[in-house]
């Protein structure tokens, strides 16, 4: 459906009230829910009904955007949050962070675990749409792009978090892997190491961007002999990948997410390698149990609390009919602990030497 | 409202159709949702309306039970699951386990995190009731008992999981701490240790039952000098409690749940005590990261996968209008690893000595 801005002449001059789903329902003599589903191309609606709804919507200059939605009075003060894996501590922290800020302003949160399954994700979006939630924050799957775009263009306030879609204007909050991974390279490559990277799934924006960052850093720094394991955001994948990277001679491993970090720890423990000595390890995400390792893990922090807060703030603006900024990119940062002890020693030695050289230069 | 079984004479003899909320709505000229909320004593419904609804419900012999509900045709094939803390790996595993079995039979799951807050929990139960879910699996809070009982008696299929209420007939699936904790005592007390227990919140059935088990085992085994820290299911609580128990001289600590186990690890790491040598530690729950500790943790396993499966099976029976068995008690079990090495050595020595004695007796 074209989302043309309706001519104001079509409406009474003193009352610029936008057309709502209810108006379409009244004219078509269908329920609001049927109209909503018809506009969403829901398979349960017969094609003839859908055509009638679309005709009436066009006649009434129905404007499927956030402003039109905001004019509707009925709020449920409930939002939906969809994460891909409830057992992944990064995503459960993200959901908890959103819920905490939502609760502070009296908004309830309904959660859903899509299990990285686009079918479950689409079904959940339908359920949440049906349940008259005020808006949805979703960690999307690439195969759910069409569904998300359709809901968003129909005026459902939606914010993408952690992952984004290319070539859409749906607001998103994602993390920028570049600062954290650049610092990781600075640290690791101070010592003589062979790099290994546990890459996440390439059908997620985070998986692609982090791998891209790794590869670019290898190229710009002329690093050769590094290896990449193409995995998924699963513990088993990190375990398997670490064993393979070690076989290929890696002496410093960067794990591409929380779950693969747990898997990497598992493999390294099993092989009885001393972390920080025999193997340098950098994990992803600020998981409390990573600090409980002996030695504690050096990690790339995505600042998940802030990510959740910003996503909710954007969603609220959409719900209120305000124009939200298109996307926010949160920089990652490196938090250094004992799991990169050898690299850190070399890094600090280099820094001292470099300082000394600079001083000598100044003096000379 | 009395839930008397209606006389079948009041209904046409050939059609034993039970009264539904819709029937009450028709007679009162209210919406089904208003009727539902009125019967639920929802504060948003004026007292006069509530009285009228109750009168009509009684006149129509409205039978608020699962059978009546099952007779209603409309299923959403969606259930609600309410856990108290999404960042607690035990509860996120429980939610994931339920979702997995539900999905296998085409049922979607909507989650909610009550943050151990009875107000949020009550609100969530209302939202889920409004959203026409087929049923609800909930980890309850003691202060939500009235609300849960009311929903259940009104025919909403509800199953309690992990925690139960006393003196109600609402089906529940809980774990029995006795077998696992008895095995923990057998193991720890084989060596000369001073026991410390990190007890969970006493307003939860799990917190009370586990503390009760600890105290009874101390009494029946004539163990003196043991100490208890009264905490909550929080990491900070386990951290604080462990420091206090250690100050009181504890040399063997049992943590009363997952989060307190993480907190205990944190405190012990900070104090640089060697786990399995200087301090014996038994955690609660089979969290994958507990196996990644060096040494891996001895744990009391609640078999959370099975718990989730059984809860869903019971809920399905309720939804289908079958009579469900009232409650299932799953035995816990001890899984021994390196964090109790000193105790294990003593335990095995004792066992050998006892075997030898028995042999000598037989021979003599």
A86 close contact with B: CB closer than 8 A:
yes
Check whether the bond before B295 is cis (ω within 30° of 0): yes
A136 close contact with B: CB closer than 8 A:
no
| The pLDDT value given to residue B345 | 94
Residue B349 has pLDDT above 60, yes or no: yes
- Cβ <8 Å between B115 and A99: yes
A237 close contact with B: CB closer than 8 A:
no
| The pLDDT value given to residue B18 | 57
Q: Report DSSP letters for B87-125, one per residue.
A: TSHHHHHHHHHHHHHHHHTT-EEEEEE-TT-HHHHHHHH
Which option is the CATH number for B176-302+333-352: 3.40.50.300, 3.40.50.2300, 2.60.40.350, 3.40.50.2000? 3.40.50.2300
| The pLDDT value given to residue A63 | 63
Structure tokens of A17? 């009230």
Structure tokens of B322? 């079958």
Interval B264-292 mean pLDDT = 92
Q: Report DSSP letters for A308-362, one per residue.
A: HHHHHHHHHHHHTTPPPPSEEEEEPEEE--GGGHHHHHHHHHHHHHHHHHHHHHH
Map residue B59 onto helix, strand or coil.
Answer: helix
Interval B161-179 mean pLDDT = 93
Residue B236 burial (C-beta neighbours within 10 Å; 0-12, 13-18, 19+)? middle
- Cβ <8 Å between A111 and B113: yes
Q: What is this model's ipTM?
A: 0.72
Residue B233 has pLDDT above 50, yes or no: yes
Architecture of domain B76-173+306-330: 3-Layer(aba) Sandwich (3.40)
Facing B269 at nearest CB: one of A103, A124, A294: A294
Rounded Cα distance between A195 and B342, Å, is 39
Structure tokens of A86? 């409830």
| The pLDDT value given to residue B30 | 85
Task: Classify domain A8-64 by CATH number.
Answer: 1.10.260.40
| The pLDDT value given to residue B297 | 96
- Chain A contacts of B95, Cβ < 8 Å? 86, 113
Facing A95 at nearest CB: one of B86, B93, B266: B86
In A, minimum Cα distance to B104 occurs at: A120
CB distance B280 to B265 below 8 Å:
no
Structure tokens of B88? 């607690």
CB crowding A235-251: b at 16 or more within 10 Å, else e:
bebbbbbbbebbeeebb
Q: Is the dihedral of CA B8, B11, B12, B16 positive or negative?
A: negative
Give how far A116 is from chain B: nearest CA, Å: 13
Give how far A354 is from chain B: nearest CA, Å: 34
| The pLDDT value given to residue B35 | 84
B356 close contact with A: CB closer than 8 A:
no
Residue numbers of B between 242 and 281 with CB closer than 8 Å to A: 262, 265-266, 269
- Cβ <8 Å between A95 and B113: yes
- Chain B contacts of A266, Cβ < 8 Å? 288, 291-292
- Cβ <8 Å between B127 and A108: yes
Interval B142-165 mean pLDDT = 92
Map residue B299 onto helix, strand or coil.
Answer: strand
- Cβ <8 Å between A113 and B123: no
B112 close contact with A: CB closer than 8 A:
yes
Facing A113 at nearest CB: one of B96, B127, B262: B96
A292 close contact with B: CB closer than 8 A:
yes
* Shared fold status for A8-64 and A76-175+306-330: no
Facing A92 at nearest CB: one of B92, B115, B235: B92
Return the residue matching tokens 């959940």.
Answer: A124
Facing B113 at nearest CB: one of A87, A99, A288: A99
- Cβ <8 Å between B87 and A108: no
Per-residue pLDDT of chain A (364 residues; tens, 9 = 90+): 344 333 333 333 333 455 677 788 888 888 777 887 788 777 788 888 888 888 898 888 776 543 344 444 467 889 999 999 999 999 999 999 999 999 999 999 999 999 999 999 998 998 888 777 899 999 999 899 999 999 998 889 999 999 999 888 899 999 999 999 999 999 999 999 999 999 999 989 999 999 999 999 999 999 999 999 999 999 999 999 999 999 999 999 999 999 999 999 999 988 999 999 999 999 999 988 898 888 899 999 999 999 999 999 999 999 988 876 678 999 999 999 999 999 999 999 998 988 888 888 888 6
Rounded Cα distance between A250 and B338, Å, is 29
| The pLDDT value given to residue B5 | 38
A291 close contact with B: CB closer than 8 A:
yes
- Chain A contacts of B99, Cβ < 8 Å? 86, 113, 115
- Chain B contacts of A293, Cβ < 8 Å? 292, 294
Locate the domains of chain B by residue range: 9-63, 76-173+306-330, 176-302+333-352
Rounded Cα distance between B193 and B270, Å, is 21
* pLDDT digit string, tens, across residues B11-64: 333 334 556 777 888 888 887 778 887 887 777 888 888 888 888 888 887 765
Interval B273-302 mean pLDDT = 93
DSSP state at residue B9: G
Superfamily for the B9-63 domain: lambda repressor-like DNA-binding domains (1.10.260.40)
Task: Give the CATH fold of the A76-175+306-330 domain.
Answer: Rossmann fold (3.40.50)
Interval B3-9 mean pLDDT = 38
* Nearest one of B269, B252, B280, B299 to B341, comparing CA atoms: B280
Structure tokens of A315? 């969603």
| Integer CA distances (angstroms), A192 to A85, A241, A251, A280, A342, in order | 37, 22, 9, 11, 10
Give how far B286 is from chain A: nearest CA, Å: 13
Residue B209 has pLDDT above 50, yes or no: yes
Rounded Cα distance between A159 and A326, Å, is 10
Rounded Cα distance between A97 and A84, Å, is 16
- Cβ <8 Å between B292 and A113: no
A2 close contact with B: CB closer than 8 A:
no
| The pLDDT value given to residue A149 | 92
In B, minimum Cα distance to A262 occurs at: B289
């Amino acid at each position: 459906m074209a989302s043309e801005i309706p001519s104001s002449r079509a409406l009474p001059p003193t009352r610029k009230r936008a057309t709502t789903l209810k108006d379409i329902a009244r004219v078509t003599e269908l329920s609001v829910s049927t109209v909503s589903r018809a506009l969403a191309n829901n398979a349960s609606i017969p094609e003839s009904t859908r055509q009638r709804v679309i005709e009436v919507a066009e006649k009434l200059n129905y404007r499927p955007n956030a402003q039109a939605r905001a004019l509707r009075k009925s709020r449920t003060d409930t939002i939906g949050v969809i994460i891909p894996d409830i057992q992944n501590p990064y995503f459960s922290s993200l959901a908890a962070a959103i819920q905490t800020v939502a609760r502070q302003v009296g908004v309830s949160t309904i959660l859903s675990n899509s299990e990285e399954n686009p079918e479950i994700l689409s079904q959940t979006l339908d359920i949440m749409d049906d349940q008259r939630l005020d808006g949805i924050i979703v960690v999307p799957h690439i195969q759910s792009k069409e569904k998300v775009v359709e809901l968003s263009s129909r005026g459902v306030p939606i914010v993408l978090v952690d992952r984004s879609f290319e070539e859409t204007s749906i607001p998103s909050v994602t993390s920028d892997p570049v600062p954290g991974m650049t610092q990781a390279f600075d640290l690791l490559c101070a010592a003589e190491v062979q790099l290994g990277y546990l890459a996440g799934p390439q059908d997620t924006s985070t998986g692609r961007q982090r791998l891209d960052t790794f590869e670019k850093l290898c190229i710009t720094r002329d690093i050769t002999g590094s290896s990449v394991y193409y995995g998924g955001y699963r513990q088993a994948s990190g375990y398997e990948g670490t064993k393979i990277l070690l076989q290929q001679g890696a002496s410093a491993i960067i794990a591409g997410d929380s779950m693969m970090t747990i898997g990497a720890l598992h493999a390294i423990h099993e092989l009885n390698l001393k972390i920080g000595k025999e193997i340098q390890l950098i994990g992803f995400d600020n998981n409390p149990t990573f600090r409980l390792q002996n030695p504690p893990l050096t990690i790339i922090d995505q600042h998940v609390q802030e990510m959740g807060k910003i996503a909710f703030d954007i969603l609220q603006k959409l719900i209120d009919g305000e124009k939200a900024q298109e996307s926010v990119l949160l920089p990652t940062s490196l938090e250094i602990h004992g799991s990169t002890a050898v690299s850190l020693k070399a890094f600090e030695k280099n820094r001292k030497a470099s300082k000394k050289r600079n001083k000598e230069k100044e003096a000379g």
